Structure 1
Amino acid sequence: MSDTNDDDKTLSVNTKKTLTMKRPGSETGTVRQNFSHGRTKAVVVETKKRKFAMPGEKPEAAVQQPAVTLKPRAPQPAAPQAPARPTPPRPAPRPAARSGMVLNTLSNEEMEARRRALQDSQLREVEERKRAAEEAKRRAEEDARREKEREESARRQAEEEQRLQAETEARRRAEEESRRRNPVVEPVVKPAVVEEEQEERKPRGAGAAGAPAGAAIKRGPIKPEVATPKPKAKGEEERRRGKLTLTAALSGDEARGRSLSSMRRRQEKFKRAMHNEPREKIAREVVLPETITIQELAQRMAERAVDLVKFFMKQGQMMKPGDVIDADTAELVASEFGHTVKRVSESDVEEGMFNIEDKAEDLKSRPPVVTIMGHVDHGKTSLLDAFRNANVASGEAGGITQHIGAYQVEQNGQKITFLDTPGHAAFTAMRARGAQATDVAILVVAADDSVMPQTIESISHAKAAGVPIIVAINKIDKPTADPTKVRTQLLQHDVFVESLGGEILDVEVSATKKLNLDKLLEAVLLQSEILDLKSNPDRTAEGVVIEAKLDKGRGPVGTVLVQTGTLKVGDIIVAGSEWGRVRALVNDRGEQIKEATPSTPVEVLGLQGPPQAGDRFAVVENEARAREISEYRQRLARDKAVARQAGQRGSLEQMMSQLQTSGLKQFPLVIKGDVQGSVEAIVAALDKLGTDEVQARIVHAGAGAITESDVSLAETSGAVIIGFNVRANKQARAAADHIGIEVRYYNIIYDLIDDIKQAMSGLLSPERRETFVGNAEILEVFNITKIGKVAGCRVTEGRMERGAGVRLIRDDVVIHEGTLKTLKRFKDEVSEVPVGQECGMAFTNYEDLRAGDVIEAFRVEMITRSL
């Protein structure tokens, strides 16, 4: 009962106190919990003291032990709140419930973790407050800076307006002063100018309709002559305002005045109108090309094209601005207008491409370039095969070289570049190009065949190019070899070998047995050391095009020899009239390389078209210059072709008279080859076949496969299509079969030339050959009825034949030429009468026969001719 009474007393005391949410004997704090995505939550941590009863003690004497519980913090009000409503008193906790709260007690480790979390949250709050303070400070500084800039802009605008107002006032005073001095000239001023003056004198911002008409005109001398200004149309003020600037937009001033330059130009124009002053002429230096249009000339002189047209009209020439004049005429016109002239040529675009001077310290040694030359089938390519351990000769049709091959071999760690040139006569131009691009020439002479025509020609090419010669006497392994005979015959052509006391090196070699090949290479290296070959590899590349072709898969491909500088992938090159960016470089072994040093032969991919073999190439700085040089060279080649055709063609009357007099016949051909050098050789060989009566007319010649356009061209010109190492595609074959155009394929130049020669021979007119048969002397002339006059003759020489042609000769002069009507021996018709016998003869439709005349019998034969 006592316990119950104590509880009742406690309850009665608590009902008299104000109830709160706090529990007595507890301490509270807050902890901020952090969640994902930046979310946080404040949690109230409450520490309360609890009593623990020791064994043997009463519950009242238990020791109080703090306990920590966690519960969400109630939201804090922004302003003081009214007192909370009284809540009904809670019943005193029962012992069972009090004993159950022991489960909420936290361990020391958990309390320490909560305490650390509370400290971290407090540190973060301090950092956030610091960052917020710095951000507020930065914004304040930015606002202050903008305000300062706005004030500075307003100040500058005010100063500009004051300056413009002062200048306008000064200009107005100057104009009034000039009008007072020259009152008579004033009425000449145009009304439009006066309107502009009135507009300038109006108060800023006043509209056209806001002031009375003529209010601004207070200059007495011009008042009667000047018309009142018309009211401006709506929106004209906005049109005169000009474009909106940043200063005008910030100032907020709608009206905008004229700029200083505009007022100065208007003032100068007004003065010229008053005093009729001409504009000051400026003498310029005018750059004149070889031809120029009148419009372009006027622009370069800063003159009006109309003035130049008027000048030509005064000279009696009716010209238009688009007409083209030459440089001499343009120079006269420019001098007449007071300008100086600088003449330039179109070829100036090529300046600085070639022959760039190199410093001596930049030069480095380079491999020698060796050309193998000689007569056909003397073993040039076989000798090169022995150097390269390859087999090139078997790849050439007919076993003869029809292209310039470029290869590199290595001897004792030093590289040597070889050029293999064709030996037969059709490839003279290619052999000459090989000599021009080389440092040393190896003259191959077969020991069993000695010196031949192409051998002599090769010697001439080498001497003309000024390159030293090394004689390689080949085929010494044959039983019929005679090297001494070769050396002796070379003396006749000023080739003195060392074994005979000369200075030219000679080596006896065998390409098939590979004898003395190392001696020949050492001789080449020795000769190159004497020449001291050097070039600068650290500059833009220059060189020569050895060969060019149109590859089906790779496009235009040029085989070039780099002579100086280094050619790299990505360089822009100009080769002849073609240009392009180097897409790939392929060496003689078929490997792609990044750059080609001096004396290196490479295939270049990326050109716009196949260049001509023998053209020089150079690297330029950009595509614009490359395109300009290419266009200039193409135009030059086109002009030359047109001039050549015009010279050959002439007028229609000249052509007809030429055909009538000479009977020239042409054999039209369309020639397509695999490489440009072969096409050139074929064209040169066909040109030599021509005579005064018949010649080959090359309608088109180029490298690449036979296409439909070639068939169309052949159809138009009636030409025959010749394919050398190329074939026609499917469409071209179908078109040729449909039209009936003949397409002939060849891979050996000898067969091609022989067939063309035979075909051209068919165009030759047959030769008329006259054969003497015999003579007969007229002894007596008989007049027979129904037959006419019959001559009794004796055959004095040869014989008389009935079908032969006859001539009547009187006093060694031919009187008549015709045929026999009758030939009789006694009374019988005979086919022939031998010498010493007598016969009777009568002429067809001719009877003026006399005794003593001589009758000559002859036979005419038409013999087929050939070239």
Structure 2
Amino acid sequence: MSDTKSGDDNTLSVTPKKTLTLKRPGSEQGTVRQNFSHGRTKQVVVETKKRKFSMPGDKHEPTPTAATVFAPKPQPAAPAPAAPVAPVAATPVVAAPVAPAPVAPAPVVAPPVAAAPAPVVRETPRPARQPERSGMVLNSLSRSEMEARRRALEGSVVREQEDRLRAVEDARRRLEEEERRRKEREDSARRQAEEEARLKTEAESRRRAEDEARRRAPSAALEANVPDEVEAKPKGRVGPGSAAASPIRRIATPEVARPAKTKTEDDRRRGKLTLNTALTSADGDARSRSLSAMRRRQEKFKRAMHNEPREKIIREVTLPETITIQELAQRMSERAVDVVKFFMKQGQMMKPGDVIDADTAELIAAEFGHTVRRVAESDIEEGLFDIADHSATLVTRPPVVTIMGHVDHGKTSLLDAIRQANVVSGEAGGITQHIGAYQVEKNGQKITFIDTPGHAAFTAMRARGAQATDIAILVVAADDSVMPQTIESISHAKAAGVPIIVAINKIDKPSADAQKVRTELLRHEVFVESMGGEVLDVEVSAKNGTNLDKLLEAILLQAEVLDLKANPDRTAEGVVIEAKLDKGRGPVATVLVQTGTLLPGDILVAGDQWGRVRALVDDRGNRLEEAPPAMPVEILGLQGTPQAGDRFAVVNNEARAREITEYRQRLARDKAVAKHATQRGSLEQMMTQLQSSGLKEFPLIIKGDVQGSVEAIIAALDKLGTDEVRARIVHSGAGAITESDVTLAETSGAAIIGFNVRANAQARHAAEQQGIEIRYYNIIYNLVDDVKDAMSGLLSPERRETFIGNAEILEVFNITKTGKVAGCRVTEGKVERGAGVRLIRDNVVIHEGTLKTLKRFKDEVSEVPVGQECGMAFQNYEDMRAGDVIECFRVEMVTRRL
């Protein structure tokens, strides 16, 4: 950059890299700070040259310099002359504009000839000068330099704003820190004052107590001989054994100055600085206690001084059916020790972990002054079942029909003909041993069928089928008429309060007599329409498919009369028809949805099991997206196999499902324990029972394919028990026989029975090693017969006595080396050697034993017939008299059967 100075002919050139200074005699050099509009400042070097010049009128006025003419306004400068004679041209100090633009160079102003040269201003390169000022000509900047200058200025503005914000934030933090330290100092001072006041009060109270003790002491000589000691400030809590609390050492003496504390070995061992050591005072006192702790200590001290009782807190105590003493104390906000003391006063030795019932807990809570609210564990099941539906939400649903009757009367064959399937071929022995559910469609209307077994052992299944149904179809064979299970099915249907439709099957047989069936039904209060009653009856043939349409029409007619409705737009409820453990799918339950709609993903509770529905499968193996009311489906996803007949319901979340199932499992365990305890009784009762009755148990482990079959087997085996022997079910369940079952059988000495299931490879190997036999069955009455035979082997044989004959003693002979021998005559029957004998005198049995000898004359014989005489001697008995009667009998042990 070059500056041109007017006033003489010399031209001064200044480069940006080096500042050129011109020194003249009589000149002065200084610095001037320049301020710009965008906030930047700059310090420049100014050389001032004083020169006097004369003008007309005033010859002694000083010449204004460049420093006075062009000095910035914020900075003080030399005073300007009052009336300058002539203008002085100098290089102006120009502030760079914020947004530079190309400016044309200003014209050069020629100063007067007589003017002295102006002072030289040395500066660094500057942006283009302002056009409104006149002065020396400045070289214009290039576009790139102006852009760089602009970016630098903008960056400086941003940095300055950040610096200002940072300064404001630092100032605010300093103020907050100062305020916090001030509050801490005030709190510390207040706590110290309170502690000093407390110590002063305690010292005063102790002094008064010591004075009172001195006055009451029988002699003051002991105090007179004790030397005075300096009273030290108590540190921390003052205990009864401390020096501050001792009446002998606490003698008022002038307080002396504490010596300067020196660093000891303990101080050196203290280690690095921690929060506790930092808060510790200089004299070694522990850090001050919190306000709450001091307040509690003061309240406790006041209560101790004035014997004030603690404030009683009255609570509402929620009591379940059983509760421990510890938990009861916590709910009452009392100490468990106090509750135990209450029991001790009542003469009972209890521990905090002991369980008490709700009535006892209520008495204790009332004794301690609390109110009680009784709750039951069963309250968690409230709102789970039987939710009332509004009549506007009900829609018509399909009827649920249960097929019942005697075994081998064609129930499953009739259902096969209706649904065009063949289920009978898959059943062992041609009889149904499972409960099944199917759905068929007739004229656009759906009908749900439930098939029940007809065997005598499946009474519970038939009862469940009757309870879960709307209509009961009583199947009676026309050639066999009414049988025991037919009568039982009628009883179940009447107990459930469902209408009955009689299906007289096998009318295609030559020996069929439908009228005989109707007549025998009258004896059991089943009045068909043809006999003047209201019960519908249809003659059908499952083999030929005769009159199946009429049977379905009768079912739909009866359903129309019943007007069956349900709400499909709600959570599902229903009943478990059957449950099993599938090897590939896990626990599988066949359920009947009674109300609501069951969807995949629903969380349901079935008995003491819960789970999330993974899939819905119909009776033909098809996956379903939903199960509306009256729809039988198989559900996958349960945690275990529920019991057949359990009700299920959908809950909101897994937490409630777990809570309900845990309660039900605990209830089932308690019932099992109570039942076992009732059967077992105390140890004395067990020993008495075993000695008196000789009860023997036959332990069994039963595994079946479905829960219903296992239940039927257990019920059938329970009926086999007698006073001498009974079956004890160690374990039962649905699924294959596993290694754990074999281990349990080895431990308990039980036999393993598999019904329609097999043992896996590990279980078979373990059973072979342990010598445990596994029996497999697929027909229930074969299983029951074999178990009956095995239990019969535990029965003690029956002692059967057979009368042989009587003999009358005529004379008693005393023979040397032989003893007494009775001479007898056989009066009835015969007498045999080795048989049992009784000695009867005056119709009273005197002795019972065996014969030592039986002689006829001098020969030993095996028997003596009636009318002949013989000699007899008893084994280890000789008190025989003439006229006594000897009864001879034979004892046989006969094997008994159940």
TM-score exceeds 0.5: yes
**Amino acid of the residue matched to residue 843 of structure 1?**
A
Distance in 2 separating the partners of 1:178 and 1:823? 115
* Deviation readout 1:277-318 (Å, 9 max, x if unpaired): 877554332222223334433443445556656666666766
Distance in 2 separating the partners of 1:460 and 1:135? 100
Q: Name which of 456, 460, 468 aligns with 2:487.
A: 456
Contact map agreement 1:293 1:323 (CA 8 A) in 2: yes
* Deviation readout 1:623-681 (Å, 9 max, x if unpaired): 12211222222122112222222222233333233222112222121111111111111
Q: Quick check: 684-693 or 522-531, which moved more? A: 522-531
- Cα 1:180–1:696 shift into 2, 3 Å: closer
Distance in 1 separating the partners of 2:737 and 2:348? 51
Match of 1:404 in 2: 435
**Displacement of 1:423:** 0.9
Is 2:630 the partner of 1:599?
yes
Contact map agreement 1:778 1:794 (CA 8 A) in 2: no
- Cα 1:852–1:629 shift into 2, 3 Å: same
Match of 2:426 in 1: 395
Q: Name which of 814, 839, 842 aligns with 2:869.
A: 839
Is 2:789 the partner of 1:789?
no
SS across alignment from 2:544: coil
TM-score by length of 1: 0.71
Distance in 1 separating the partners of 2:420 and 2:613? 30
Distance in 1 separating the partners of 2:360 and 2:514? 69
**Amino acid of the residue matched to residue 376 of structure 2?**
S
Is 2:591 the partner of 1:565?
no
Distance in 1 separating the partners of 2:786 and 2:660? 41
Is 2:764 the partner of 1:767?
no
Aligned residues: 703
**Displacement of 1:774:** 3.1
**Displacement of 1:404:** 0.9
Higher helix fraction (1 or 2): 1
Contact map agreement 1:810 1:854 (CA 8 A) in 2: yes
Unpaired stretches in structure 2, ≥5 consecutive residues: 1-123, 127-142, 209-230, 237-251, 280-286
Match of 1:429 in 2: 460
Distance in 1 separating the partners of 2:491 and 2:816? 80
TM-score by length of 2: 0.68
Contact map agreement 2:805 2:826 (CA 8 A) in 1: no
Q: Name which of 607, 610, 618 aligns with 2:649.
A: 618
**Structural mapping, 1:473-512, within 5 Å:** 473-512=504-543
Distance in 1 separating the partners of 2:253 and 2:317? 50
Distance in 2 separating the partners of 1:487 and 1:579? 47
Is 2:806 the partner of 1:745?
no
- Cα 1:713–1:141 shift into 2, 3 Å: same
Match of 1:369 in 2: 400
Contact map agreement 2:384 2:651 (CA 8 A) in 1: yes
Distance in 2 separating the partners of 1:804 and 1:442? 65
SS across alignment from 1:558: strand
**Amino acid of the residue matched to residue 782 of structure 2?**
D
Contact map agreement 1:187 1:225 (CA 8 A) in 2: no
Distance in 2 separating the partners of 1:808 and 1:193? 109
Distance in 1 separating the partners of 2:502 and 2:292? 85
Contact map agreement 1:803 1:820 (CA 8 A) in 2: yes
Match of 2:610 in 1: 579
* Deviation readout 1:59-116 (Å, 9 max, x if unpaired): xxxxxxxxxxxxxxxxxxx989xxxxxxxxxxxxxxxxxxxxxxxxxxxxxxxxxxxx
Q: Name which of 373, 379, 382 aligns with 1:351.
A: 382
Is 2:666 the partner of 1:635?
yes
**Amino acid of the residue matched to residue 714 of structure 1?**
A
Match of 2:680 in 1: 649
Q: Quick check: 842-851 or 823-832, which moved more? A: 823-832
SS across alignment from 2:869: strand
Is 2:742 the partner of 1:717?
no
Q: Quick check: 359-368 or 275-284, which moved more? A: 275-284
- Cα 1:154–1:790 shift into 2, 3 Å: closer
Is 2:518 the partner of 1:518?
no
**Amino acid of the residue matched to residue 286 of structure 1?**
V
Is 2:358 the partner of 1:327?
yes
- Cα 1:313–1:193 shift into 2, 3 Å: farther
* Deviation readout 1:249-285 (Å, 9 max, x if unpaired): xxxxxxxxx9xxx868867876776687877554332
Distance in 2 separating the partners of 1:225 and 1:390? 112
**Amino acid of the residue matched to residue 695 of structure 2?**
L
Q: Name which of 657, 669, 673 aligns with 2:704.
A: 673
- Cα 1:617–1:790 shift into 2, 3 Å: same
**Amino acid of the residue matched to residue 698 of structure 1?**
I
**Displacement of 1:777:** 4.4
* Deviation readout 1:699-757 (Å, 9 max, x if unpaired): 21222211222112211222211111111111211111111111111111111111111
**Amino acid of the residue matched to residue 869 of structure 2?**
C
Match of 1:549 in 2: 580
Contact map agreement 2:807 2:824 (CA 8 A) in 1: no
Match of 2:451 in 1: 420
SS across alignment from 2:719: helix
* Deviation readout 1:827-866 (Å, 9 max, x if unpaired): 766555554x433232334555555544433322222111
SS across alignment from 1:636: helix
Contact map agreement 1:375 1:454 (CA 8 A) in 2: yes
Contact map agreement 2:613 2:638 (CA 8 A) in 1: yes
Match of 1:726 in 2: 757
Contact map agreement 1:820 1:841 (CA 8 A) in 2: no
**Amino acid of the residue matched to residue 627 of structure 1?**
R
Q: Name which of 373, 385, 408 aligns with 1:342.
A: 373
- Cα 1:848–1:177 shift into 2, 3 Å: closer
**Displacement of 1:333:** 4.1
SS across alignment from 1:460: helix
Distance in 2 separating the partners of 1:726 and 1:79? 105
Contact map agreement 2:837 2:886 (CA 8 A) in 1: yes
SS across alignment from 1:567: coil
**Amino acid of the residue matched to residue 626 of structure 2?**
E
**Displacement of 1:816:** 3.8
Distance in 2 separating the partners of 1:780 and 1:304? 91
**Displacement of 1:437:** 1.3
**Displacement of 1:390:** 0.8
SS across alignment from 1:334: helix
**Amino acid of the residue matched to residue 701 of structure 1?**
S
Distance in 2 separating the partners of 1:372 and 1:130? 99
Match of 1:23 in 2: none
SS across alignment from 2:314: coil
Is 2:756 the partner of 1:695?
no
**Displacement of 1:614:** 1.4
Distance in 2 separating the partners of 1:136 and 1:484? 117
Distance in 2 separating the partners of 1:821 and 1:176? 113
Match of 2:6 in 1: none
Q: Quick check: 339-348 or 159-168, which moved more? A: 159-168
Distance in 2 separating the partners of 1:485 and 1:638? 51
Distance in 1 separating the partners of 2:302 and 2:856? 124
Match of 2:62 in 1: none
**Displacement of 1:157:** 8.2
SS across alignment from 1:595: coil
Match of 1:755 in 2: 786
* Percent of paired sites with the same residue: 72
**Structural mapping, 1:156-167, within 5 Å:** none
SS across alignment from 1:619: strand
Distance in 1 separating the partners of 2:686 and 2:173? 85
Unpaired stretches in structure 1, ≥5 consecutive residues: 1-77, 81-121, 123-127, 197-221, 243-257
**Displacement of 1:815:** 3.7
SS across alignment from 1:858: strand
Match of 2:500 in 1: 469
